[in-house]
Amino acid sequence: MVGNNVSHSNKKTKRVFKPNLHVKKFYLAEEDKWITLKVSAAGIRNINKKGLSVCLKEAREKGFYKG
C-alpha cells in the first residue's frame, strides 16, 4: 500500500506502508516440534485467540503454509 508523508508545511512525499511482520517460533504440541513462521502482529493475535493448530489448518486450506 502506498501513501504520502505529510510534513508540517504540508509538503507531500511518497511512502510505502509495509506489514508488521515478525519471525516467531511456535511450539506445535500435536507433532511435538517447534515451527518458525513469519507472521504479522495481527496473525500473532489470531494464533493466541484461536490456537496454533486451527490457524495452521486454515493457512494450509488457503495455500499460505505448506509445512
pLDDT for residue 41:
95
Calculate mean pLDDT across residues 23-45: 94
* Any domain includes 31: yes
pTM beyond cutoff 0.85? no
* Any domain includes 53: yes
Alpha-carbon distances of 26 from 9, 56, 58, 60, 61, rounded to whole Å:
46, 11, 16, 16, 19
When divided into structural domains, the chain yields a total of: 1
Instruction: Name the pLDDT band for 65 (thresholds 50, 70, 90).
Output: confident
Query: CA nearest 39: which of 25, 53, 50?
Result: 25
* 13, β-bridge pairs: 5
Instruction: Name the pLDDT band for 38 (thresholds 50, 70, 90).
Output: very high
* Any domain includes 1: no
Calculate mean pLDDT across residues 43-55: 95
* Any domain includes 15: no
* Any domain includes 54: yes
Domain that holds residue 50: 20-67
